[in-house]
Homo-oligomer: A and B are copies of this chain.
């Protein structure tokens, strides 16, 4: 038999799919137990079709999704267009047409995953998306099949390659945020609007998906606190280094007695933490659990071949099941009622970077303010910035999220003080 697939979109990642199917054809056929053929490829318009034909691509290009939906020979639809629409409509229609779907679309899955999975279930088909989190790292299938006996207590992830590339340059080379962004743009790592990457939005999408696989709960995107790397200065980086830390943008999901919580925030990582050496565009997911204790999964977060490898691995798992004729298992079967942690249950150390006038009594002011919140200083660094300005960096002892929010609010409101940045300390 042959399993027929249709590709929606033929961009960079999509063109990696035929590369793998050809390059590894013997292994893939043996593993899948069947041939896998690209039956149709959806492109935008006739012009794109003509360009791809001229480049030598001999697929059956179509410009109307119904040519795929109505083709009974097609078993699996691979969506690699990205963004919400028309991907959402096309995936929904493909599932309704009883076709299995593979996608790498994290934005879509984070915002509408639950709806799409319901459509899949209602139609007796499967929706797989290993490539949606940390592209080339096989993390979702591993959580779904190898952590079944374990109870995960914390996930820490460096899951945005663009911001991690920038942070690596800022740490290793002492570059400013703007210098790092310029280089990321030049190398094609940053989009013309880098907001999703540098503000932690992309990483927050991934936390939503990881929360489902690791904790069986669905944290809503709007409930993932996210803060980016725009405010990190060379001074923050230098101080971190002096104290034995590396700054990275880290996504965290934690389960506390009261429930779970997720955030993406700049973080001081101890230099000997396994995540601290995840550099450049590489990604890693660090998993803490009661059984395995500590494990890390490291690899490329994006890129044509890594992402296509995860996509084709999904296709092979589906192809194996299609031959058996049974209903295919859902990609993730771990589901519990979602319960959010209380702020009192979320306790961390923080670094506060503050600027103020260089005059007597300023530090006392801050000390009184922290004392009023019942938070004490672990370390304080004061530096004259010239022009009668001073920088005060405080690493405070553990506080809960209420105390942290209250401190941020009060320092921000304090006359003559500027709260330049806050960074979580692990």
- List residues of chain A with CB under 8 Å of any chain B CB: 16, 20, 23-24, 27-28, 30-32, 130, 136-138, 141-142, 145-151, 216, 272, 274, 277, 279, 282, 289-300, 303, 305-306, 308-313, 315-317, 320, 324, 326, 329, 333-334
Complex Cα distance, B271 from A156, in Å, reads 23
Given A148-B32, A274-B277: A309 and B334 within 8 A (CB)?
no
Which 3 residue pairs across A and B have the least CB separation, nearest first?
A138-B146, A291-B309, A295-B299
Closest approach, in angstroms, between the C-beta of A375 and any C-beta of chain B? 33
- 18 further contact pairs, Cβ within 8 A, besides A138-B142, A274-B277: A30-B333, A31-B149, A136-B292, A145-B145, A148-B313, A149-B308, A149-B316, A150-B313, A277-B277, A291-B306, A291-B309, A291-B312, A292-B300, A292-B305, A292-B310, A294-B299, A295-B298, A297-B297
Q: Kindly state the separation between the CA atoms of A308 and B300 in the bound complex, as whole angstroms.
A: 30
Interface centre among A130, A146, A151 (most CB of B within 10 A): A146
Across the interface, A309 reaches (CB within 8 A) one of B141, B274, B292, B299, namely B292
A31's nearest neighbour on chain B, judged by CB, is B148
The residue on B at minimum CB distance from A299 is: B295
Q: Which B residues lie within 8 Å of A306 (CB)?
A: 291-293
* A137 cross-chain contacts in B, Cβ below 8 A: 292, 295
CA distance A341 to B309 in the complex (A): 26
B294 touches A296 (CB 8 A): no
The smallest beta-carbon distance between A192 and chain B, in angstroms, is: 27
Residues of B within 8 A of A309 (CB): 147, 149-150, 289, 291-292
* A146 contact set on B, CB distance < 8 A: 130, 138, 141-142, 310, 313
Q: Which residue of B lies closest to A300 (CB)?
A: B293
User: For residue A17, which residue of chain B has the nearest CB?
Assistant: B149
Is the CB–CB distance between A27 and B145 below 8 Å? no
- Name the residue of chain B whose CB is nearest to the CB of A287: B299
| Cα(A32)–Cα(B296), bound, Å | 25
Contact A23 B294 (CB under 8 A): no
Report 12 cross-chain contacts, Cβ distance below 8 Å, ordered by A residue: A24-B150, A28-B149, A146-B313, A147-B309, A149-B313, A149-B316, A150-B313, A292-B299, A292-B309, A294-B300, A295-B297, A326-B326
Tell me whether A20 and B313 are in contact (CB under 8 A): no
Measured in the bound complex, the distance between the Cα atoms of B146 and A44 in whole Å is: 31
**CB–CB A136/B27 < 8 A:** no
Contact B295 A334 (CB under 8 A): no
Query: In the complex, what distance in Å separates the CA atom of A256 from the CA atom of B12?
Result: 29
Question: Which B residue's beta carbon lies closest to that of A317?
Answer: B145
B312 and A149 contacting across the interface, CB-CB below 8 Å: yes
Question: Given the complex, which residues of B lie within 8 Å of A136, measured CB to CB?
Answer: 291-293, 295
Chain B residue, CB-CB nearest to A312: B149
Residues of B near A313 (CB, < 8 A) are: 145-150
Return chain B residues, CB-CB under 8 Å to A299: 292-296
Distance between A391 CB and nearest chain B CB, rounded to angstroms:
31
Point out the residues of chain B lying under 8 angstroms from A308, CB to CB. 149, 291
When distances are taken between beta carbons in the complex, the residues of chain B under 8 Å from A32 are 148
In the complex, A137→B303 CA distance in Å? Answer: 25
Q: Which residues from chain B contact A293 at a C-beta distance below 8 Å? A: 136, 299-300, 303, 305-306
Closest chain B residue, CB of each to CB of A134: B295
Chain B residues closer than 8 Å to A147, beta-carbon distance: 138, 309, 313
